[in-house]
């Protein structure tokens, strides 16, 4: 009995040291960051000609209707600070730039905040324009702020390797100074909301403290304490993302089981007959014309979604179902014409990808990049720089 207690204490101590000592899943968090930033960026660019109708002054959901709704549900959106077209265009442009910055991992802590503000502002401005993929992006944009998602595959990671710190350079303080000024301006408009104002103020102060400690005491106890807090937030954020993905699939699967069309295996047949979901009519007719294929796809979708949360403790089965779900979303993108919903779900699924596979992908990508770099001709004379005359 005493030995069992000692083993349990050692295991608990080891787990606590691991959770506080490192940000777990660096490759998974990087893939999630790249996936969601890229999905939102591609969506904003594709809908750039229609931006005013979707989220701006030309949309059916007018600024006054949005104002009345937000006054009742207290949703966050900076688009309610002004009804001018210039302000809308500025917010949309900043959202595009923040998505690019987060995709590349440039000043990721700041760009993740701006990315979240852009996502919430546009989606909460016109709540009836979104679908399931937009809801996933909405949630993940908030969770990404908590994570240290730029440890690998980012410009921040390269800056940390070359300059010794990811906060090196003047761009970070300037960016946070601008964000602080915007926060003060938003507080002055009276439309910020005390909860959001407190959250942004706390985040701004915490990042300012991190910058000061990282510049003046990078090896001290204060930096170690901040690292522990950052690791705890990161690991909690990754846990929430994984739980969210499991909840999405479990809810979708169990609701499908209760539907009569899913029970008899004909659910997929009906959307294939709608013009909105048939970007490739010939392909849709080919799939809908096979009752066996429709039944297998319908039953397979339900089985995979219901079973996936229960397979997380078996790595091999989990990886198989993960591949099937990603293939399923790729099929939805092509067959039903829902590319951004599929990209969002694939990016969410990526949190469960095995580390070995991601490391292999990174090594292969680095090897291809090095192979593509021009090689100097050995026969060409190398220029010699002479010392400057004294």
The DSSP string of 231-288 is HHHHHHHHHHHHHHHHHHHHHHHHHHHTSHHHHTT-GGGTGGGSGGG-SSHHHHHHHH
Question: Is the residue at 108 inside a domain?
Answer: no
Measure CA of the first residue to CA of the last residue in the chain; give whole Å.
81
Q: What percent of the chain has pLDDT over 90?
A: 53
Domains of the chain: total: 1
Question: Is the residue at 315 inside a domain?
Answer: yes
Query: pLDDT at position 29, please?
Result: 96
* Pick from 184-193, 198-207, 292-301, 358-367: least confident: 184-193
CB 15 within 8 A of CB 70: no
Question: Is the residue at 317 inside a domain?
Answer: yes
Question: Is the residue at 265 inside a domain?
Answer: yes
Q: Which of 57, 35, 40, 160 is nearest to 107 (CA)?
A: 160
Question: Is the residue at 57 inside a domain?
Answer: no
* Pick from 29-38, 110-119, 252-261, 380-389: least confident: 380-389
Report the C-alpha gap between 352 and 318 in whole angstroms: 8
Question: Is the residue at 273 inside a domain?
Answer: yes
- Alpha-carbon distance values, 125 to 44, 82, 83 (Å): 15, 12, 11
Torsion of CA 305, 306, 308, 311, to 10 degrees: -170
Q: Strands of the chain (E only): list them.
A: none
| Tokens standing for residue 165 | 């710190």
Query: pLDDT at position 389, please?
Result: 41
The length of the chain in residues reads: 390
| Tokens standing for residue 345 | 């779900």
Q: What is the pTM of this model?
A: 0.91
pLDDT over 50 (residue 35): yes
Q: Which of 80, 25, 27, 20 is nearest to 56 (CA)?
A: 80
Model confidence at 115, in pLDDT bands (50, 70, 90)? very high
- Enumerate residues 6+ apart whose C-beta is below 8 A from 351: 25, 28, 29, 31, 32, 238, 241, 242, 245
Question: Is the residue at 131 inside a domain?
Answer: no
Residue-wise pLDDT for 276-288, tens only, equals: 888 999 999 999 9
Longest pairwise C-alpha distance within the chain: 90
Report the C-alpha gap between 126 and 52 in whole angstroms: 11
Range of the domain at 337: 242-366
Report the C-alpha gap between 144 and 119 in whole angstroms: 12
Structure letter (DSSP) for residue 352: G
Question: Is the residue at 159 inside a domain?
Answer: no
CB 349 within 8 A of CB 326: yes
Helix 221-257, helix 339-349: angle, nearest 10? 130
Q: Which of 117, 116, 138, 113 is nearest to 127 (CA)?
A: 138
Alpha helices in 47-62 (DSSP H): 51-54
| Tokens standing for residue 180 | 């602080």
Helix, strand, or coil (residue 265)? coil
């Amino acid at each position: 009995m005493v030995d069992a207690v000692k083993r349990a204490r050692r295991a608990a101590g080891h787990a606590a040291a691991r959770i506080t000592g490192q940000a777990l899943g660096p490759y998974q968090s990087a893939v999630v960051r790249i996936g969601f930033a890229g999905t939102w960026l591609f969506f904003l660019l594709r809908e750039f000609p229609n931006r005013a109708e979707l989220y701006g002054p030309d949309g059916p959901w007018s600024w006054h209707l949005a104002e009345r709704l937000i006054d009742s549900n207290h949703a966050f959106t900076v688009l309610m600070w002004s009804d001018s077209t210039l302000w809308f265009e500025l917010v949309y442009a900043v959202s595009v730039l923040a998505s690019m910055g987060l995709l590349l991992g440039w000043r990721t802590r700041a760009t993740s905040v701006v990315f979240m503000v852009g996502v919430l502002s546009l989606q909460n401005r016109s709540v009836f324009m979104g679908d399931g993929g937009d809801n996933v992006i909405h949630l993940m944009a908030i969770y990404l702020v908590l994570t240290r998602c730029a440890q690998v595959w980012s410009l921040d990671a390269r800056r940390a390797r070359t300059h010794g710190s990811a906060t090196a350079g003047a761009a970070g303080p300037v960016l946070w100074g601008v964000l602080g000024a915007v926060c003060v301006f938003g507080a002055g408009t009276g439309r910020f909301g005390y909860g959001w104002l407190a959250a942004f103020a706390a985040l701004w102060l915490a990042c300012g403290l991190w910058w000061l400690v990282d510049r003046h005491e990078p090896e001290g106890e204060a930096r170690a304490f901040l690292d522990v807090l950052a690791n705890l937030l990161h690991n909690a954020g990754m846990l929430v993302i994984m739980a969210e993905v499991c909840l999405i699939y479990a809810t979708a699967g169990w609701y499908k089981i209760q539907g009569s069309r899913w029970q008899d295996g004909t659910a997929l047949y009906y959307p294939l007959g709608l013009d909105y979901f048939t970007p490739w009519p010939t392909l849709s007719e080919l799939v809908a014309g096979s009752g066996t294929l429709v039944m297998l796809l319908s039953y397979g979708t339900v089985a995979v979604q219901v079973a996936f949360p229960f397979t997380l403790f078996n790595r091999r089965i989990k990886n198989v179902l993960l591949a099937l779900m990603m293939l399923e979303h790729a099929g939805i993108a092509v067959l039903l014409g829902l590319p951004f919903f599929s990209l969002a779900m694939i990016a969410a699924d990526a949190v469960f990808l095995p580390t070995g596979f991601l490391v292999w992908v990174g090594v292969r990508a680095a090897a291809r990049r090095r192979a593509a770099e021009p090689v100097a001709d050995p026969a060409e004379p190398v220029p010699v720089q002479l010392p400057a005359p004294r």
